[in-house]
A and B are shown apart, each in its own frame.
Chain A
Amino acid sequence: MSDSKKMGGKGDIPFRNPGWAGNTGEFDLTEDEVRGLDYVGTRPAGGGHPGAAATYPYMLTERTPDASLFQGPYLERYEKIRSRFPTAQGALLPTLNLAQEVRGHVSSDTMREVGALLGLSDAYVRGVASFYTMYNKREVGRFLIQVCTNISCNLCGGDEVMAAFLKHLDTEMGQTTPDGLFTVMEVECLAACGTPTAVQINSRYFENVTPDDVPAILERLRSEVG
């Protein structure tokens, strides 16, 4: 591997860890193998083992904002989650996660329903839900694009990657594009500092992202929803 390849050599953003960016970089592996998705396989909707029931991705492309809480396999998963905690309150975060997985965001109504389920007051649930940034309090685009601009990514061009997403989508930070597909936000450190810039799109990480990669990433996302 030559030095120039290690450096990437693109203008002001020359630092490319030979890791991966949705492409697999220097790994001799498929993307799924790098992400571990081949090992995870298709997880049962009902939750598999209760010890692992609280770990499903809860930022999805498909969501049903008016679905009821919780039915079928989701009810099964909720009950498994609940069984792991000595108090109902302990299950609050995983239950909110599950609600967001189903509905795509956690509205005031959702908070009330989750509270009723766990025997907690509406105000209490609201207090907790509002503390955590990953709960979308309103509907967001089908793809929530979160660009890290914290120090390690910032040193290597995080601001420029953010600008590129906004430019190519002709949108502003926090706004959803008119087609309802994309919402772009700034995010705090994603713990992928060795592969800057890190971008989280729904439940997936993209790493080593440069402004030049942005059109291809958007193209890929668009093709995923047809």
Chain B
Amino acid sequence: MAYPYTHEKEVRILSQGWGDPRTRTVEGWKALGGYTALEKALGMSRQEVIEEVKVSGLRGRGGAGFPTGIKWSFMPGEKKGPHYLCCNADESEPGTFKDRELLRWTPHQLIEGCLIGAYAIQAEHVFIYCRGEFFEATQVLARAVEEAYEAGYIGKNILGSGHDIDITVFAGAGAYICGEETALMNSIEGRRGLPRVKPPFPAAVGLFGKPTTINNVETLSSIPHILNNGGSWYRQWGTEKSPGTKLFCVSGHVRRPGNYELPLGFPLEELIYDVCGGFREGRSLKAVIPGGSSVPIMSAADCEGCTLDYEGVVEKGSMLGCASVIIMDDSTNIVKQVRRMVDFYAHESCGQCTPCREGTQWLARILLRIEKGRGTAEDLDTLLELGNQMTGTTICVLSDSAAAPVASSIQKFKDDYLALIRRGEKVGAA
């Protein structure tokens, strides 16, 4: 049996082999056309590979949506020392659970993408940074790496091309911030996972001080299909600016949560009511977080006519991020959920920038006070002011991410906050 939940509107490219244990093996992956793209790429020039990816319009799937081909072209053309490719498998944005499936069901798809990427940017070593908690998925990937070494796809002189590429699977140790690309590099270097000031950008000074590119698991997993079928093939799905398919991770109050691979530009309402089966009896939509906990919350009204591409979600005042759609019905206590998200950021702040280290803690404390019925109306102004001071003032965007759901929820669900505040007044809380 295939993956336990699928939908007829899905376009299953990356998720084609999910649910079938055979796909984990070299043989199983080859049966799905695997490793032909690698062969093809090695027969092309690096420039041609990058050009094909540029044509596809593939945008980074880790959240920022930066065009992958352009990112690769930032790497120095002339090689003066080692180059590195890092694959970011430190999936830990609340609401996101696609990379884990890519790792544990289709590890060779990722390995093939890593090898093609490494070839394109002249890297001889790929580090795949898996989050520490992914013990099971990481072992599946590790076994696949061993198998690919045995089959001659990784290592010295791959497929007789004269190119050497190594892959090392790295297991983290529990730090959300290591999903930030420069923190990830610090972590591989054996440091605390503190984001670095940019510039210099990783393509100039990256891992161990060498030119480095960091790509998400889903991005690299898309590469073999683009190479096999051509960049323009990929453009048959999605929109002009957001081409291709995307894994949508849907969680929360819908009947069929899960991963669905859909063309970018898919209507949000169709995703909620058709693909995911809508809400339980008597419940209705209250709020949606369309791109993981770091992006602004959308109200039910914002969802009307919203299309799930990078531009479409921005039009509605939020961001697509990594397409982690968290859906909340009308039973949801918004203040509690925002407080829980902010607790997360307070816990995960690396602590190097003051606005984030202090700000996340204060947001959490004030939100808890409001949730417990001890808040005041002035607290809302304080939260917004704190959020302002936390936005655009730090090395990385964790601070902004903590402020975004607070500001947007106060803007869109002010009555929920005020109800808790008034309840406090009624019971005469101190």
Interface set of A (CB-CB < 8 Å, partner B)? 3, 6-7, 14-15, 17-20, 25-29, 33, 35-41, 43, 48-52, 54-59, 84-87, 89-94, 96-97, 118, 120, 127-128, 131-135, 149-152, 154-156, 187-196, 200, 203-205
Q: Which B residues lie within 8 Å of A151 (CB)?
A: 94-95, 252, 289, 293, 326, 337, 340-341, 344
Whether B337 and A154, one on each chain, are in contact in the complex, defined by CB atoms closer than 8 angstroms, is yes
The contact string, 1 if C-beta is below 8 Å from chain A, for chain B 134-150, is 11111111110110010
Whether B171 and A54, one on each chain, are in contact in the complex, defined by CB atoms closer than 8 angstroms, is yes
Whether A15 and B257, one on each chain, are in contact in the complex, defined by CB atoms closer than 8 angstroms, is yes
Whether B251 and A191, one on each chain, are in contact in the complex, defined by CB atoms closer than 8 angstroms, is no
Q: Please list 15 pairs of residues, one from A and one from B, whose beta carbons are closer than 8 Å in the complex, sorted by A's number.
A: A28-B1, A36-B104, A36-B140, A51-B149, A51-B166, A55-B142, A87-B190, A89-B189, A134-B173, A150-B293, A151-B344, A155-B252, A194-B251, A194-B258, A196-B251
The contact string, 1 if C-beta is below 8 Å from chain A, for chain B 243-256, is 00000011111111
Whether B190 and A90, one on each chain, are in contact in the complex, defined by CB atoms closer than 8 angstroms, is yes
Docked complex Cα distance between A56 and B138 (Å): 8
Q: Which B residues lie within 8 Å of A35 (CB)?
A: 104, 136
Tell whether A49 pairs with B190 under 8 Å between CB atoms, given A132-B175, A134-B173, A189-B94: no
Give the residue of A36, A91, A193 whose beta carbon is less than 8 angstroms from that of B190: A91
Tell whether A84 pairs with B255 under 8 Å between CB atoms, given A89-B189, A191-B91, A200-B133: no
Tell whether A36 pairs with B95 under 8 Å between CB atoms, given A51-B167, A194-B258: no
Docked complex Cα distance between A200 and B326 (Å): 21
Whether A193 and B251, one on each chain, are in contact in the complex, defined by CB atoms closer than 8 angstroms, is yes
User: Considering the complex, which residues of chain B in the window 274-303 have a beta carbon less than 8 Å from any beta carbon of chain A?
Assistant: 277, 280, 289, 293
Whether A155 and B149, one on each chain, are in contact in the complex, defined by CB atoms closer than 8 angstroms, is no
Whether A6 and B94, one on each chain, are in contact in the complex, defined by CB atoms closer than 8 angstroms, is no
B191 close to A (CB within 8 Å): yes
Whether B255 and A49, one on each chain, are in contact in the complex, defined by CB atoms closer than 8 angstroms, is no
Whether B172 and A40, one on each chain, are in contact in the complex, defined by CB atoms closer than 8 angstroms, is no
Whether A15 and B140, one on each chain, are in contact in the complex, defined by CB atoms closer than 8 angstroms, is no
Nearest 5 CB-CB pairings of A with B: A92-B190, A134-B174, A52-B142, A132-B173, A28-B1
Docked complex Cα distance between A132 and B136 (Å): 20
Whether B337 and A57, one on each chain, are in contact in the complex, defined by CB atoms closer than 8 angstroms, is no
Interface set of B (CB-CB < 8 Å, partner A)? 1, 4-5, 19, 21, 24-25, 82, 91-97, 99-100, 104, 130-143, 145-146, 149, 154, 166-176, 187-193, 208, 249-259, 277, 280, 289, 293, 324, 326, 328, 332, 336-337, 340-341, 344, 347-348, 350
Q: Which A residues lie within 8 Å of B92 (CB)?
A: 188-189, 191
Main secondary structure of the interface of B (DSSP, over half): mixed
Tell whether A52 pairs with B146 under 8 Å between CB atoms, given A189-B92, A192-B100: yes
Whether B340 and A27, one on each chain, are in contact in the complex, defined by CB atoms closer than 8 angstroms, is no
Docked complex Cα distance between A84 and B253 (Å): 44
Among B143, B166, B172, the most chain A Cβ lie within 10 Å of the Cβ of B143
Docked complex Cα distance between A28 and B256 (Å): 18
Whether B254 and A51, one on each chain, are in contact in the complex, defined by CB atoms closer than 8 angstroms, is no
Q: Which A residues lie within 8 Å of B341 (CB)?
A: 150-151
Tell whether A188 pairs with B169 under 8 Å between CB atoms, given A27-B1, A152-B251: no
Docked complex Cα distance between A161 and B104 (Å): 26
Give the residue of A118, A131, A189, A193 whose beta carbon is less than 8 angstroms from that of B257: A193
Nearest residue, chain B, Cβ from A134: B174
Nearest residue, chain A, Cβ from B131: A191
Q: Which A residues lie within 8 Å of B192 (CB)?
A: 127-128, 131
Nearest residue, chain B, Cβ from A100: B173
Nearest residue, chain B, Cβ from A193: B251
Q: Which A residues lie within 8 Å of B95 (CB)?
A: 151-152, 189, 193
Give the residue of A25, A38, A94 whose beta carbon is less than 8 angstroms from that of B4: A25
Q: How many whole Å from B192's CB to the nearest CB in chain A?
A: 4
Q: Which B residues lie within 8 Å of A52 (CB)?
A: 142-143, 145-146, 169
Whether B173 and A97, one on each chain, are in contact in the complex, defined by CB atoms closer than 8 angstroms, is yes
Whether A93 and B173, one on each chain, are in contact in the complex, defined by CB atoms closer than 8 angstroms, is yes
Whether A90 and B340, one on each chain, are in contact in the complex, defined by CB atoms closer than 8 angstroms, is no
Docked complex Cα distance between A135 and B136 (Å): 18
Give the residue of A91, A94, A155, A191 whose beta carbon is less than 8 angstroms from that of B133: A191
Whether A133 and B175, one on each chain, are in contact in the complex, defined by CB atoms closer than 8 angstroms, is yes
Q: Which A residues lie within 8 Å of B258 (CB)?
A: 17, 19, 194
Q: Which B residues lie within 8 Å of A193 (CB)?
A: 94-97, 249, 251, 257, 324, 326
Docked complex Cα distance between A36 and B191 (Å): 31
Docked complex Cα distance between A194 and B26 (Å): 28
Q: Which A residues lie within 8 Å of B172 (CB)?
A: 93, 132, 134
Tell whether A194 pairs with B143 under 8 Å between CB atoms, given A15-B255, A131-B192, A151-B293: no
Give the residue of B136, B139, B326 whose beta carbon is less than 8 angstroms from that of A205: B136
Whether B344 and A54, one on each chain, are in contact in the complex, defined by CB atoms closer than 8 angstroms, is no
Q: How many whole Å from A125's CB to the nearest CB in chain B?
A: 9
Q: Which A residues lie within 8 Å of B253 (CB)?
A: 15, 155-156
Docked complex Cα distance between A180 and B252 (Å): 35
Q: How many whole Å from B196's CB to the nearest CB in chain A?
A: 15
Among B135, B188, B192, B348, the most chain A Cβ lie within 10 Å of the Cβ of B135
Q: How many whole Å from A191's CB to the nearest CB in chain B?
A: 5
Whether A155 and B187, one on each chain, are in contact in the complex, defined by CB atoms closer than 8 angstroms, is no
Whether A90 and B168, one on each chain, are in contact in the complex, defined by CB atoms closer than 8 angstroms, is no
Whether A133 and B174, one on each chain, are in contact in the complex, defined by CB atoms closer than 8 angstroms, is yes
Give the residue of A43, A49, A134 whose beta carbon is less than 8 angstroms from that of B132: A134
Q: Which B residues lie within 8 Å of A187 (CB)?
A: 133
Q: Which A residues lie within 8 Å of B104 (CB)?
A: 35-36
Whether B141 and A55, one on each chain, are in contact in the complex, defined by CB atoms closer than 8 angstroms, is yes
Tell whether A55 pairs with B138 under 8 Å between CB atoms, given A93-B172, A151-B293: yes
Whether B259 and A194, one on each chain, are in contact in the complex, defined by CB atoms closer than 8 angstroms, is yes
Whether A89 and B191, one on each chain, are in contact in the complex, defined by CB atoms closer than 8 angstroms, is yes
Q: Which A residues lie within 8 Å of B130 (CB)?
A: 55
